[in-house]
């Protein structure tokens, strides 16, 4: 059998496949549905727990059992993502309202990992049972699961805007959602007001619901930007932790600064990182008044204590707070992007559109619920009417039953009054029976009725039930017909939820001014700047250097005495100059390697090589000599480089040339240029032109074919170079005129 090969454009196939993949990730994994505020995995975990009957009033179940059931039936994407979802839903420090209750180690606010799923147990929270899953069978559509063997809900019948309450985070393809959490009580009040007045303004909304409310508390420090965030659905929140000053209560105690609330973004390893950062600030003497820091946080709340030196005035304490906000994650940014799935499409939500979609969804739930209830009550009414009618015709019914050979014969006679297989002997009863016209439901109910139902009290109770059924039908019809009655139900439900689950607001608001800090001046000390041939640099204590002088100089290409308030100046072969603050260079011991200058400046070792290193002090009142591979030379005044920025042009270089040496020179020292073929040219300083930074040099030496400048030296009394394996003194070299080739050193 021959195969049929179909040709297609590769780019079109890739485009179509990628779009399909992207939409799958967006709608089926990463972005929550605006109706219940849940991603598919969250929805499936809650539904799976509901099917396992692990409700709030039942014992907990092993997390591994829950995860396995959800993975096998609804979410075949791996157990780790399912368990992580379950853990987060049970962590009350991450969610304003926990949707699950965990038993065992479910992690901590400080970043401790939860125990493995085989060790922990979980069940649904009361809120999930009451608000997220109630009336599940009456209100929402179900769809086939991944293998079409079971059904799962398209959406949960959530009676509260979970998207606002618990927020959401998710990264899809080309888009992401990051919605903050809010206070339950304020949301209830806001929705009630919106139902009463759908044209409510954003300003009025924010008087009711002031803004985000995070489970960790803290401060939103840019309150004036909230209206625009809720108007557009995007923006940035400036979050701050709360720091309080606690004066010493006893003479032996110390004054303290205590962090009692943290930004939501610090959950996890943020607390450890904060303490580490504070320690670094103290070591670097950015903060000099903190003597100790320790973490006393527990299940009751955050308490990070920083002990202070005695007798600090208010200004110093405020400055410490400002440094903490400026230099650590105690102040952080939370990017808001309220993206959700609306009618199958991703959409950035404003506050008003969230409320519109919520109220619309509630009306859909109410309509479906009460249509189902109405259908059931109409069915009940039909049955009760048949039973009431049957009590008045009971003798004829009994006669019919006694004359019937099968249930089907009896049912046919009850429905039509006729059946060829039934002969009632009593003519009076037969006449009554011939007029039977019960419905199918009524006939089944009569056949299933027990004789005790004919007791007088039971008949009275049946009549009362019938009246109750009629009242319910009337009520349900009114709800379905009148939008106002449906909204009354929504409002009553919200009031009940607020009363049962509402909590006080935790996050406060302010418009904080830009932080200005007064950093103490670092102590200036004598150090030695060391840099090896690989570009790793460090500074050493001067006394340590003196003790290990030989080892230091043997292991480093550049060793320069300096002070910590100076800068190291690095010259590159491309003609650029880079500056490094010495107070940013790590102070290390003799055998410690140091830090690459690539990490401390804009120098890139992959683009250029180092041809000279000096410090700002070492080049004062001097000239800098630049010598290129093609023999160009020039002097430049050092003052042009001391005040320069971190990366500037030190000398211009042709594209086919590069700098081979940069030296510090003085007017009383001769200079020597050396070529690769070991020709040497000795020059007096006044023979070399003085030019600016942004210029090229002039021709300093004539080069033979294939020869190039290899090195340059400042001539000292003991200047010795290795030539042909022998050390030779440069002072033996006679002076040559400028622009001559030079001579061999004999």
CA-to-CA dists, residue 492 to 35, 159, 165, 481, 489, angstroms: 19, 11, 19, 18, 5
State whether the Cα torsion 376-380-381-383 is positive or negative: positive
Burial, 455: exposed, middle or buried (Cβ in 10 Å; 0-12, 13-18, 19+)? exposed
709 vs 4, higher pLDDT: 709
Instruction: Clarify whether residues 384 and 478 are in a common domain.
Output: yes
Question: Of the candidates 454, 476, 499, which is a domain's last residue?
Answer: 499
Does 495 lie in the same domain as 402? yes
How confident is residue 743, by pLDDT bands cut at 50, 70 and 90?
low
- The pLDDT tens digits for 227-283 are 999 999 999 999 999 999 999 888 778 889 999 999 999 998 889 999 999 998 888
Q: Beta partners for 103? A: 121
What's the rounded Cα separation, in Å, for the pair 188 and 376? 31
Is there a single domain that holds both residue 278 and residue 365?
no
pLDDT at 744 (0 to 100):
64
125, pLDDT greater than 90: yes
Residue 509 inside a domain? The answer is no
Helix (H), strand (E) at residue 494: helix 483-501
Q: Looking at 17-31, 263-277, 492-506, which range is the least confident one? A: 17-31
Residues 289 and 373 both lie in one domain: no
pLDDT > 80? residue 23: no
Domain-located, residue 647:
no
Q: Which of 499, 532, 557 is the last residue of a domain?
A: 499
Say which CATH number the domain at 262 has. Answer: 3.30.1360.40
Residues 417-428: pLDDT tens digits? 887 788 888 888
Distance of CA 605 to the CA centre of its chain: 35
In a domain, 374, yes or no: yes
**Residue 124 domain-assigned (yes or no):** yes
Q: Are 85 and 96 in contact (CB under 8 A)?
A: no
Q: Is 606 exposed, middle or buried (0-12, 13-18, 19+ CB in 10 A)?
A: exposed
The CATH number for 116's domain is 3.90.199.10
Residue 19 in this model has a pLDDT that exceeds 70: no
CB 138 within 8 A of CB 151: no
SS3 helix, strand, coil % of the chain, rounded to 5?
40, 20, 40
Helix/strand/coil for 285: coil
Which has more pLDDT, 385 or 284?
385
Residues 108 and 145 in one domain: yes
Residues 43 and 152 in one domain: yes
**Does 242 or 686 have the greater pLDDT score?**
242
If asked whether residues 363 and 494 sit together in one domain, one would say yes
pLDDT at 1 over 70: no
pLDDT of residue 383: 87
3-state secondary structure of 126: helix
> What integer is the mean pLDDT of 707-724?
79
Report pLDDT for 671: 84
d(CA 611, CA 445): 103
Res. 644 pLDDT band, cuts 50 70 90:
low
Residue 63 · residue 84 · CB < 8 Å:
no
Please state the φ and ψ torsions of residue 729, each to the nearest 5 degrees.
-85, 125
State yes or no: pLDDT of 102 exceeds 90. yes
More confident residue, 312 or 69: 69
The answer to whether 238 and 265 are in contact (CB under 8 A) is: no
CATH number at 430 reads 1.10.268.10
* Residues whose CB falls within 8 Å of the CB of residue 109, separated by 6 or more in sequence, listed in order: 93, 216, 267, 268, 271, 297, 302
**Which regions of 251-383 does DSSP assign to beta strands (E)?**
256-261, 290-295, 304-308, 331-337, 339-342, 345-348
Q: Hey, which residues does 539 pair with through a beta bridge?
A: 529, 587
**Residue finishing a domain among 157, 191, 226:** 157
CB of 490 within 8 A of CB of 366?
yes
**Which letter, b or e, does each residue of 458-482 get, where b requires 16 or more Cβ atoms within 10 Å of its Cβ?**
eeeebeeebeebeebbeebeebbee
Phi, psi torsion values for 424, nearest 5 degrees: -90, 125
DSSP per residue over 396-424, as a string? HHHHHHHH-SSHHHHHHHHHHS--TT---
pLDDT interval class at 2 (50, 70, 90) = low
Q: Which pLDDT band, with edges at 50, 70 and 90, does 22 fall under?
A: low
15 is a domain residue = no
pLDDT of residue 737: 46
Find the DSSP H helices in 209-305.
Answer: 226-232, 270-283
Q: Residue 221 — very low, low, confident or very high, per pLDDT cuts 50/70/90?
A: very high
Catalytic residue set: 119
* Cα 373 to Cα 365: distance, rounded to the nearest angstrom: 12
User: What is the span of the domain harbouring residue 137?
Assistant: 39-157
Q: Work out the end-to-end distance of the chain between its first and last CA atoms, rounded to an integer number of angstroms.
A: 90
**Greatest CA separation for the chain:** 154
Beta-carbon neighbour count of residue 379 at 10 Å?
12
pLDDT at 456: 63
The pLDDT value recorded for residue 739 is 43
390-443 pLDDT, tens digit each: 888 888 888 888 888 888 888 888 888 887 788 888 888 888 888 888 998 988
Is it the case that residue 736 has pLDDT exceeding 60? no
Q: Are residues 148 and 87 part of one domain?
A: yes
* pLDDT: which is higher, 271 or 639: 271
Q: What is the pLDDT of residue 292?
A: 92
Based on the domain organization, do 315 and 395 belong to the same domain?
no
User: For position 369, what pLDDT does the model report?
Assistant: 93
Q: Is the pLDDT of residue 321 over 50?
A: yes
Q: How many CA atoms lie within 13 A of 253 on its CB side?
A: 10
Distance CA 158, CA 112 (A): 31
Q: Predicted confidence band at 619 (pLDDT cuts at 50, 70, 90)? A: confident
> Is there a single domain that holds both residue 472 and residue 383?
yes
Whether the predicted pLDDT of 496 surpasses 50: yes
Helices (H), 522-615: 542-547, 549-555
DSSP readout, 76-92? -S-HHHHHHHHHHHH-T
Q: Which are the contacts of 99, defined by CB distance < 8 A and separation ≥ 6?
A: 42, 46, 89, 90, 124, 125, 127, 128, 132, 166
Q: How far is CA 463 from the centre of its chain?
A: 62
**Alpha carbons 701 and 714: distance in angstroms, whole number:** 16
The answer to whether residue 745 scores a pLDDT higher than 60 is no
pLDDT for position 536: 92
Q: What is the pLDDT of residues 165-176, one digit of tens each?
A: 999 988 877 778
Residue 182 lies in a domain: no
Task: Say if residue 6's pLDDT is above 50.
Answer: yes
Whether 491 is in a domain gets the answer yes
738: pLDDT strictly greater than 50:
no
| Mean pLDDT of the 9-15 span | 71
Does 53 lie in the same domain as 105?
A: yes
What average pLDDT does the segment 73-88 reach? 92
The DSSP output letter for 529 is: E
Q: Are residues 315 and 415 in the same domain?
A: no
- Residue 30 placed within a domain: no
Say how many domains are in the chain. 3
CA 460 to chain centre: 64
């Amino acid at each position: 059998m021959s195969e049929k090969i179909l040709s297609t454009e590769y780019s079109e196939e890739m485009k179509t496949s990628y779009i399909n993949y992207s939409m799958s990730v967006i709608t089926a994994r990463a972005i929550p549905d605006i109706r219940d505020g849940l991603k598919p995995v969250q929805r499936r975990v809650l539904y799976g727990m509901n099917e396992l009957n692990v409700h709030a009033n039942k014992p907990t179940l092993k997390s591994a059992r829950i995860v396995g059931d959800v993975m096998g039936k609804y979410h075949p994407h791996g157990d780790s993502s399912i368990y992580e979802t379950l853990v987060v839903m049970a962590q009350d420090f991450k969610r304003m309202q926990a949707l699950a209750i965990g038993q065992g180690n479910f992690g901590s606010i400080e970043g401790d990992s939860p125990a493995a799923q085989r060790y922990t147990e979980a069940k649904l929270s009361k809120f999930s049972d009451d608000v997220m899953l109630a009336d599940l069978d009456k209100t929402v559509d179900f769809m086939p699961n991944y293998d079409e063997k079971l059904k799962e809900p398209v959406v949960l019948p959530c009676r509260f805007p979970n998207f606002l309450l618990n927020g959401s985070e998710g990264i899809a393809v080309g888009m992401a959602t990051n919605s903050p959490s809010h206070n339950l009580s304020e949301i209830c009040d806001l929705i009630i007001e919106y139902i009463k007045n759908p044209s409510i303004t954003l300003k009025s909304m924010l008087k009711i619901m002031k803004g985000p409310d995070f489970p960790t508390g803290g401060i939103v420090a840019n309150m004036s930007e909230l209206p625009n965030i809720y108007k557009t659905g995007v923006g940035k929140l400036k979050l701050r932790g709360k720091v309080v000053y606690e004066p010493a209560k006893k003479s032996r105690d110390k004054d303290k600064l205590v962090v009692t609330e943290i930004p939501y973004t610090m959950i996890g390893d943020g607390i450890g990182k904060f303490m580490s950062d504070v320690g670094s600030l103290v070591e670097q003497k950015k903060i000099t008044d903190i003597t100790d820091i320790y973490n006393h946080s527990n299940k009751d709340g955050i308490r990070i204590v920083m002990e202070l030196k005695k007798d600090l005035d208010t200004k110093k304490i405020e400055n410490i707070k400002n440094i903490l906000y400026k230099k650590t994650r105690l102040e952080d940014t939370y990017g808001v992007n309220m993206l959700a799935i609306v009618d199958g499409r991703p959409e950035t939500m404003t506050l008003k559109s969230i409320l519109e979609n919520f109220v619309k969804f509630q009306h859909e739930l109410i309509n479906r619920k009460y249509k189902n209830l109405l259908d059931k009550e109409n069915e009940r009414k039909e049955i009760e009417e048949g039973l009431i009618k049957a009590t008045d015709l009971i003798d004829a019914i009994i006669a019919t039953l006694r004359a019937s050979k099968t249930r089907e014969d009896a049912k046919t006679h009850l429905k039509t009054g006729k059946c060829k297989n039934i002969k009632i002997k009593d003519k009076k009863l037969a006449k009554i029976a011939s007029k039977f016209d019960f419905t199918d439901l009524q006939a089944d109910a009569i056949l299933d009725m027990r004789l005790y139902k004919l007791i007088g009290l039971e008949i009275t109770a049946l009549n009362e039930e019938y009246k109750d059924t009629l009242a319910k039908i009337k009520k349900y019809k009114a709800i379905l017909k009148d939008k106002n009655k449906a909204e009354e139900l929504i409002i009553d439900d919200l009031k009940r939820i607020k009363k049962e689950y509402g909590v006080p607001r935790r996050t406060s608001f302010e418009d904080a001014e830009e932080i200005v800090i007064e950093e103490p001046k670092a102590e200036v000390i004598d150090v030695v700047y060391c840099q090896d041939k690989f570009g790793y640099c460090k500074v050493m204590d001067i006394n340590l250097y003196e003790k290990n002088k030989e080892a230091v100089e043997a292991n480093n290409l550049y060793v320069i005495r300096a002070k910590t308030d100076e800068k190291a100046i690095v010259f590159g072969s491309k003609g650029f100059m880079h500056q490094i603050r010495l107070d940013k260079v790590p102070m290390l011991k003799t055998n410690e390697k140091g830090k690459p200058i690539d990490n401390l400046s804009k120098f890139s070792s992959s683009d250029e090589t180092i041809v000279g290193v000096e410090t700002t002090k070492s080049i004062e009142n001097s000239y800098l000599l630049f010598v290129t591979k093609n023999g160009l030379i020039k002097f430049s005044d050092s003052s042009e480089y001391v005040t320069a920025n971190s990366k500037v042009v030190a000398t211009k270089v042709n594209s086919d040339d590069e700098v081979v040496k940069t030296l510090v020179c003085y007017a009383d020292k001769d200079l020597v240029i050396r070529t690769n073929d070991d020709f040497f040219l000795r020059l007096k300083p006044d023979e070399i032109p003085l030019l600016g930074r942004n210029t090229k040099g002039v021709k300093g030496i004539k080069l033979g074919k294939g020869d190039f400048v290899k090195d340059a030296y400042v001539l000292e009394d003991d200047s010795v170079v290795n030539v042909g394996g022998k050390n030779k003194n440069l002072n033996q070299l006679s002076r040559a005129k400028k622009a001559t080739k030079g001579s061999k050193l004999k």
